[in-house]
Amino acid sequence: MQNPQNWSLLKKVFVTALICLLTFSIYIGSAIYTVSYQSIEEEFHVSGVVTTLGLSLYVLGYATGMFVRSL
């Protein structure tokens, strides 16, 4: 792979913007789900434990991906 220090300015800006966009979308995904806890409980008649399962699995998947990536 090329040395990123030798990339053109346009490529550096593009890669930086892409990383920022992907990071933003990962964290906004969990934040959007958290706001809807009460609505989910009422709509599907489930407890708070069941409601948090979606976010728990989301975070577990994120952590697993970060762990595998670090290997």
The 10s digit of each residue's pLDDT in 4-54 is: 999 999 999 999 999 999 989 888 888 888 888 899 999 999 999 999 998
Return the pLDDT at 59: 86
Number of domains making up the chain: 1
Whether pTM > 0.85 for this model: the answer is no
For 39, the domain range is: 4-70
What does the alpha-carbon distance between residue 67 and residue 38 come to, in Å, rounded to a whole number?
Answer: 32
Gyration radius from the chain CA atoms: 18
DSSP state of 5: G
What's the CA gap between 69 and 59, in Å, rounded? 15
